[in-house]
């Protein structure tokens, strides 16, 4: 069975779920983004634009599967570090994988639906967005 499974999410659309148990600090997956230019980014459909993350200088990262399905949560169980998603707590098989997109410089914002007790209701995101 794959480490990550894509299923219908309770947060938004599709989500990424743990296909096995992960220990705190473990790398869940390394991204393999497609590097595209600002020009190419503008040509994408609105749906695809949700998966763009600013890269270096004039380049953008178009997030691929399964990392593009990791939803935002105000109480996340993973964090983005060095081009990978890392478990920040022990994660049980079947749990939805979430990340806090509100860290760093904000490029855009969206309404949060994560249902965490400490949900801020709104996210200023610096990261690729999924709605």
Residues that bind Zn ion in the complex, under the rule CB under 5 A: 74, 112, 114, 119
For residue 40, the minimal CB distance to Zn ion (Å) is 31
Task: Report DSSP letters for the chain, one per residue.
Answer: --SEEEEE-SSSSEEEEESS-B-TT-EEEE--PEEEEHHHHHHS-HHHHTTEEE-STTEEEE--TTGGGPEE-SS-SEEEETTEEEESS-B-TTPBPEE-TTSSS-SEEEE-----TT--SEEEESS----
Closer by beta carbon to Zn ion, 61 or else 128: 128
Closer by beta carbon to Zn ion, 4 or else 74: 74
For residue 85, the minimal CB distance to Zn ion (Å) is 18
For residue 114, the minimal CB distance to Zn ion (Å) is 3
For residue 60, the minimal CB distance to Zn ion (Å) is 25
Closer by beta carbon to Zn ion, 16 or else 112: 112
Closer by beta carbon to Zn ion, 74 or else 129: 74
């Amino acid at each position: 069975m794959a480490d990550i499974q894509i299923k219908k999410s309770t947060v938004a659309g599709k989500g990424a779920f743990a296909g096995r148990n992960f220990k705190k600090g473990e790398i869940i997956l390394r991204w393999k983004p497609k590097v595209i230019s600002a020009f190419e980014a503008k040509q994408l459909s609105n749906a695809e634009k949700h998966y763009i993350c600013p890269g270096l200088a004039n380049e953008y990262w178009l997030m691929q599967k399964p990392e593009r399905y990791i939803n935002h949560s105000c109480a996340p169980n993973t964090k983005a570090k060095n081009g990978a998603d890392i478990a920040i707590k022990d994660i049980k098989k079947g749990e939805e994988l979430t990340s806090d997109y509100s860290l760093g410089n904000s490029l855009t914002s969206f309404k949060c639906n994560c249902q965490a007790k400490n949900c801020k209701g709104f996210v200023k995101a610096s990261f690729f967005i999924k709605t």
